[in-house]
Amino acid sequence: MQKIELFYPLLATPQKVVITMHQKPDGDAMGSTLGLYHFLKALNHTVTVISPTNWADFLDWMPEVDQVVNFEMNKEKSLKILGEATVLFCLDFNIFHRTKHLAVHLAECKAIKVLIDHHQQPDTESFDFGVSDTSKSSTCEMIFDLIKGAGYESLINQDIASCLYAGVMTDTGSFRFPSTTASVHYMIARLKETGFQHADVHNHIYDNFLENRLRFIGFALMNRMEVLYEFNVALMYITRQDLQKYSIKTGDSEGLVNYLLTIKGIKFGAIVIDRDEERKWSFRSKGGFDVNQFARNHFEGGGHANASGGRSSKSIEQTVLDFKEVIKTYKNQLQ
């Protein structure tokens, strides 16, 4: 994979561009792809964003999100667009299997492949150009760096600003995580100069849910949380029946794992949700406990040192038992 800077000259020549992200895109994935989309459109490229799956309703406010193609719902259209692409941007993931059923088609795509991502252990051999920087707060910050580094900072408008702000806000935990560096604050100051309303972005993402979600959170905290004080670990499990009872949709469980780290003394929070195809884990930690390595070693996942995800094909009861068993081997690290 060559450095992203070597790709910059290609920005001056209109291309047929496809931008994609990981399955079930979050604020950073959707914000970075749409931020890049608006930037490339301003440079007169033909641009399509393809999402591997659906996304949370709280992202539907983003400018031109209605133009995003859902691969699972529009496979034929997606493959036609992908087949005609001359440039493929892959954002907020660094290995194709993070895109679910889209993965095989991305691998076969003949377009120039560009990686922009901040997760650990990238599959750099699959990309022609790119940047992988785990020190960055978010992929949205990296899109800002690209625009600025390529000399097009003057093109940043309110649409680009609102999309990039959404991603950096969500991935930094509203700017409270250690990844909130001085460069992040510089970026926000520059985005604010466009005149976009940051309070509106916050309201769209955090204050825009139905009553059932709040009742679901209360139920989960009361009935599905276990605190393993001997390991400084908090665990939560959500069954398929729980999801059905409260009509939980994509995005409604976003951030639930973070509640576990608000408990005094807890260094590791984990939540597993019983999805149709698999059991999905989310891991969060404080301090030096590396949940990226934990996820890779035990639950076919990965991510960041303090925030990662995983999966299991076992029943929810069995994967919870597996977690409780394996956590015993980390007792010294967690104390």
Fold agreement (2-206, 211-334): no
Residue 83 has a CB neighbour count (10 Å cut-off) of 13
Burial of 73 (0-12, 13-18, 19+ CB in 10 A): exposed
DSSP annotation of 73 reads T
Q: What is the pTM of this model?
A: 0.91
Residue 189: partners with Cβ closer than 8 Å, 6 or more residues away: none
Rounded to 5 degrees, φ, ψ at 17 are -110, 135
Domain spanning 2-206: which CATH class is it, in words? alpha beta
Picking from 250, 295, 271, the residue whose alpha carbon sits closest to that of residue 27 is 250
Local structure of 289: helix, strand or coil:
coil
Q: For residue 171, give Cα distances in angstroms to 103, 137, 332.
A: 24, 7, 29
CB-based contact 138:28 (threshold 8 Å): yes
CB-based contact 34:91 (threshold 8 Å): no
Q: Residue-wise pLDDT tens for the chain (335 aa)?
A: 999 999 999 999 999 999 999 999 999 999 999 999 999 999 999 999 999 999 999 999 999 999 999 999 999 999 999 999 999 999 999 999 999 999 999 999 999 999 999 998 999 999 999 999 999 999 999 999 999 999 999 999 999 999 999 999 999 999 988 899 999 999 999 999 999 999 999 999 999 899 999 999 999 999 999 999 999 999 999 999 999 999 999 889 988 999 999 999 999 999 999 987 899 999 999 989 999 999 999 999 988 889 999 999 999 999 999 999 999 999 999 98
- Please state which of the four CATH numbers 3.10.450.50, 3.30.70.330, 3.30.300.30, 3.10.310.30 is assigned to the domain occupying 211-334: 3.10.310.30
Q: What's the one-letter identity of residue 246?
A: Y
Q: Where are the domains of the chain?
A: 2-206, 211-334
Picking from 130, 44, 55, 146, the residue whose alpha carbon sits closest to that of residue 89 is 130
